[in-house]
Structure 1
């Protein structure tokens, strides 16, 4: 699916496929350097992180293991409820492991802050965060994110794993969704 398929649904494209891939390659190089000589467990947060997790894993030159979690703090609304539920937990024992949480986007940071604390409580050697996109003006809690692809405006964005009503995840770019789609 490309921009021609959804042109009427978008205000504009924020980042192209090429820009995203270049930035993922840069992040992977920094992660390889930072974790030299250590094996990383990369933990993807479903469903949105699928695209960035796959691209990041392929760009890394380090030995890695992969696992997935699904968490929810939204219920039926569009605002975080503040209560986090684990919908799918990890299959991997985290004791002594260097964990890198991989996210598609960080908005308020509430869920990710809870998730980081939860994983740290499992006896990890370290827990860091990598996100493709971050909305700094939407943050409600201070959270240390070691690897950030792009800081973006506090707008409704879709593509590269980001969805609206489970649609648009398979776009190979990130764009701002036009208000007529979600209002």
Structure 2
């Protein structure tokens, strides 16, 4: 059970647990159909995509494996710094594999663009992106999202893996964080 203190910090629930799970099941079916007859290697972007990747994998009906990459671009801030660095690289080679990058949220596109360039440099058979959330209003660098859960407004969201200062990841829904919590307006 999630502490009531965490719930009190939420201005509004943007996406319920049920909405999220229903959409992930749809994405899993679509991805399974698109990769029928192939093996898929998922790359989860730590830490925010852990819950999404785990739930998505449960809905895939094709052979799949997974690995993780950790990238820093936010730190303790609520906006991307634009400076990206690798905190944890992949453990396995992706050469010749069909790769699906699994992201929690795409906003400026800077981090995802960095990851895409890195992954492509390692000669996979193919690379696509699956993102739970997209904030197109914040886009600085154009990136293609092949499988998308939800397009959301430009609000600071937490829950279902997304955090602020490492809190709120365990909320089962995606909520809008009250601005006074993070110093926003």
TM-score range, shorter chain: over 0.9
How many residue pairs align between the two structures?
A: 183
Residue equivalent to 2:62: 62
Equivalent pair of 1:98/1:126 in contact (CA under 8 Å): yes
- Structure 1 gaps, min length 5: none
Alignment pair present for 1:146 and 2:152? no
Paired with 2:149 and 2:78, the residues of 1 have a C-alpha distance of: 24
Residue 163 of structure 1 aligns to a residue whose secondary structure is coil
Residue equivalent to 1:97: 97
**1:12-51, aligned counterparts within 5 Å?**
12-51=12-51
Q: CA deviation at 1:78?
A: 3.7
Q: CA deviation at 1:8?
A: 2.2
TM-score by length of 2: 0.94
Paired with 1:79 and 1:16, the residues of 2 have a C-alpha distance of: 24
Equivalent pair of 2:158/2:169 in contact (CA under 8 Å): yes
Paired with 1:75 and 1:174, the residues of 2 have a C-alpha distance of: 20
- Structure 2 gaps, min length 5: none
TM-score by length of 1: 0.95
Residue equivalent to 2:181: 181
Equivalent pair of 2:48/2:163 in contact (CA under 8 Å): yes
Residue equivalent to 2:84: 84
The CA RMSD measured in Å over matched residues stands at 1.4
Residue 81 of structure 1 aligns to a residue whose secondary structure is coil
Q: CA deviation at 1:138?
A: 0.9
